[in-house]
Amino acid sequence: ERGWNGTRPHLMRFVRSRGVRVMDVQLLNSPYWNCHFWACDRVHVRGVRVVSPLDQVNTDGWDPDSSTNVLIEDSSYEGGDDCVSIKSGWDCFGAALGRPAANITLRNLACKGPRAGIAIGSELSGGVHDVLVERIRFVDAGRMAHLKTGRTRGGAVSSVRFANLTAVGRMDTGIVLDATFKPNSKCGRGWAPRPTHMSDISFVDIDASGAAISGYSFDLGARHKEPVRSYVSAMELFLKDVHLPRGTRGSWRCGYVTSLLAKRVSPKPRGDECGVFTRRRGLNQSLRLGNVRRRNRTKAGRLRRNEAGR
């Protein structure tokens, strides 16, 4: 049967809820998203095992959607789509709600499946900021980080940190930005937002040297004929101690990147592949992202103390 919005039904869905706890359970064979948190605040997931068929798409493990103060930890996902996908609304409806996904921490997760990366988007029209992703292990996961948007998304993504990630097995690519996701037909032709702006995105201590990549190691380039900046107005990246194998198709595609600081990165980006390197902006970015990490750890610790006191 179809769910509330014409899709297959979710396994668990929380709407405008506060103080949500999902702990020590198994979620098996969901027909669609497993755990969807829409417009929620203070969400804590721990000790959850999600298993879905590897050939079934749209079976995301966790989807914090327009939600704030979210901690997902010590859990595992095996399935056919995103391990976690952070969202904030699809085109005009996400912009009208104006509720970003913010203050989100993902840590100590195991992700396995042909698309089982950590995704941001593609529904991100309300914005995404202050996200910490750390200590994640990927097995045959397609990609580690998947940034998704489209020409009609708009929105902004900022202050996002990926740290201490490892990957083994087969992968399509290591880190990818895909800006080709389709528009929401219900918004009409008059919906024409500014292109998505991505800033303060960092990758630190990433090791996928034991993986095999069939595509590009870093796929941050355009896949369409229209001008790049009509899709993504800016993309600012900081990479340090990031080690991926060379992809079968190549190492880097950088069409969307506007600012890049790379330190001890392999395969090493070349200037002819990735354009101008803006060192000063990258250093400032690194300092700001360190502050994001400290803030999110403080919030996660406060959430856990509150749980212990209940």
Catalytic positions = 81
Contact of 71 with 108, CB cutoff 8 Å: no
Q: Is the peptide bond before 31 cis (omega within 30 degrees of 0)?
A: no
- 203 closest CA partner among 177, 165, 253, 239: 239
Q: Which two tokens stand for residue 106?
A: 């993902």
Task: Please calculate the CA angle 43-124-292 and round it to the nearest 5 degrees.
Answer: 60
Specify the DSSP class assigned to residue 185. G
Q: How far apart are CA 18 and CA 42, in angstroms?
A: 6
Q: How far apart are CA 219 and CA 147, in angstroms?
A: 10
Q: How far is CA 21 from CA 16, 269, 295, in A?
A: 14, 42, 21
Q: How far apart are CA 201 and CA 218, in angstroms?
A: 14
Q: How far apart are CA 275 and CA 262, in angstroms?
A: 13
Q: What's the one-letter identity of residue 130? A: D
Q: How far apart are CA 177 and CA 253, in angstroms?
A: 10
Q: How many beta carbons lie within 10 A of that of residue 305, not counting itself?
A: 9
